[in-house]
């Protein structure tokens, strides 16, 4: 596969959880995107928006309710034989958010990292596995002499490096990094992100990088998808999102990022969203962001906006950019809605 070809294709993916006979939690409710080989796609949004559920469905921890996940042109969740299924699981690995709970405290580092090798390369010798684990530890910046230690003997940053080594052990093509720096001290976060970037360059890895820290996502991601209440509301190149956000939710998230220049920080206006994120069990009608949107119009509560490419490579789901609908609004009210003033011309 060439570098500019799609490695992962998501088509109308849904993951719903049945709470009881009456209620269904719509964690992921119809999203589509692609990730090219060697690319990093950042997935951002508030807690509870469905980001981690996307990652866990891609890695086959969850079965999708509906939709399609194609990895290297093959359905991830199709029924494969044992050998084929092993290959699929080997190609897609995950780095978990919490390095404290994602590592088995009863196993040594050697045992933790070599678990994947035992499953996917059972014919290898003990000596070969030990050598591979030692090489992986050095690759992620740890001392190979610590392979006999247990997770509790390491700091949070070191434990996350062990988690990264575990994911790399089976030589995957694609890694879902589910908020891999969220539980770490700020001083350690940049080290882990730099490590992931270095490993990507050395091994040609492809990442889905899930996070809520937009400043760090910008640093590592080629493109960014913004998620709200089970839907992707905007997707574009990293720089473009920060310079020209189109969705009001993206604007609000970006306005919360502190600026290093005190004068700029004082002069800018932060967008404060009203209310709380609605429950994914009881999703609002129309655009699901309209209950908090500072630019909401009457139509937003009635009609769900399509996720459309409004500029080259820039996808957004927002009625503000539907020229035909906005023309109807003008005719109906005899004036331009106040929200249209924000549309770039």
300 contacts 286 by C-beta, under 8 angstroms: yes
- Based on the domain organization, do 196 and 271 belong to the same domain? no
- Based on the domain organization, do 326 and 199 belong to the same domain? no
- Based on the domain organization, do 216 and 289 belong to the same domain? no
Mean pLDDT of 93-110: 92
> Structural domain of residue 272, as residue ranges?
245-342
Whether 87 maps to a domain, the answer reads yes
- Count how many domains the chain has: 2
12 contacts 30 by C-beta, under 8 angstroms: yes
Whether 39 maps to a domain, the answer reads yes
Among the three residues 198, 214, 235, which one is the final residue of a domain in this structure?
235
- Based on the domain organization, do 99 and 48 belong to the same domain? yes
Whether 260 maps to a domain, the answer reads yes
Among the three residues 235, 258, 278, which one is the final residue of a domain in this structure?
235
Whether 1 maps to a domain, the answer reads no
- Based on the domain organization, do 152 and 258 belong to the same domain? no
Whether 240 maps to a domain, the answer reads no
pLDDT for 331: 57
- Based on the domain organization, do 327 and 210 belong to the same domain? no
Nearest to 170 by CA among 120, 224, 133: 120
Among the three residues 206, 235, 264, which one is the final residue of a domain in this structure?
235
Long-range contacts of 111-120 (CB under 8 A, 24+ apart): 112/151, 112/162, 112/166, 113/137, 113/147, 113/162, 113/165, 113/166, 113/169, 114/169, 115/166, 115/169, 116/90, 116/166, 116/169, 116/170, 117/169, 117/170, 119/86, 119/170, 120/86, 120/90, 120/170
* Percent of the chain with pLDDT strictly greater than 90: 69
Whether 321 maps to a domain, the answer reads yes
Whether 217 maps to a domain, the answer reads yes
Region of poorest pLDDT, from 177-181, 183-187, 305-309: 183-187
- Based on the domain organization, do 139 and 173 belong to the same domain? yes
Mean pLDDT of 7-19: 96
Region of poorest pLDDT, from 46-50, 139-143, 256-260: 256-260
């Amino acid at each position: 596969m060439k570098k500019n070809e799609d490695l992962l294709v998501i088509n109308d993916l849904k993951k719903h959880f049945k709470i009881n006979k009456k209620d269904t939690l719509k964690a992921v409710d119809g999203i589509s995107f692609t990730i090219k080989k060697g690319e990093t796609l950042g997935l951002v949004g508030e807690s509870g928006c469905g980001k981690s559920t996307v990652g866990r469905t891609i890695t086959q921890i969850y079965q999708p309710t509906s939709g399609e996940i194609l990895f290297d042109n093959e359905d991830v969740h199709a029924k494969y034989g044992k050998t084929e299924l092993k290959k699929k699981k080997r190609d897609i690995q995950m780095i978990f958010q919490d390095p404290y709970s994602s590592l088995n405290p009863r196993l040594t580092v050697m045992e933790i990292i070599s678990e994947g090798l035992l499953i996917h390369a059972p014919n290898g010798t003990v000596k070969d596995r030990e050598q591979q684990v030692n090489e992986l530890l050095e690759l992620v910046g740890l001392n190979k002499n610590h392979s006999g230690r247990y997770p509790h003997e390491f700091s949070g940053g070191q434990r996350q490096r062990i988690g990264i080594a575990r994911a790399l052990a089976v030589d995957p093509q694609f890694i879902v990094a589910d908020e891999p720096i969220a539980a770490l001290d700020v001083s350690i976060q940049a080290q882990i992100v730099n490590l992931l970037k270095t490993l990507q360059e050395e091994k040609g890895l492809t990442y889905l990088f899930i996070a809520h820290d937009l400043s760090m996502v910008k640093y590592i991601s080629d493109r960014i998808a913004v998620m709200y209440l089970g839907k992707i509301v905007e997707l574009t190149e990293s720089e473009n999102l920060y310079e020209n956000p189109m969705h009001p939710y993206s604007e609000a998230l970006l306005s919360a990022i502190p600026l290093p220049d005190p004068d700029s920080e004082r002069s800018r206006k932060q967008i404060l969203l009203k209310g709380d994120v609605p429950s994914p069990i009881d999703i609002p009608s129309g655009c699901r962001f309209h209950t908090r949107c500072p630019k909401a119009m009457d139509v937003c509560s009635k009609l769900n906006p399509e996720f459309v490419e409004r500029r080259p490579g820039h996808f957004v789901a927002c009625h503000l950019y539907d020229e035909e609908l906005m023309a109807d609004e003008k005719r109906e009210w005899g004036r331009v809605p106040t929200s249209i003033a924000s549309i770039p011309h």
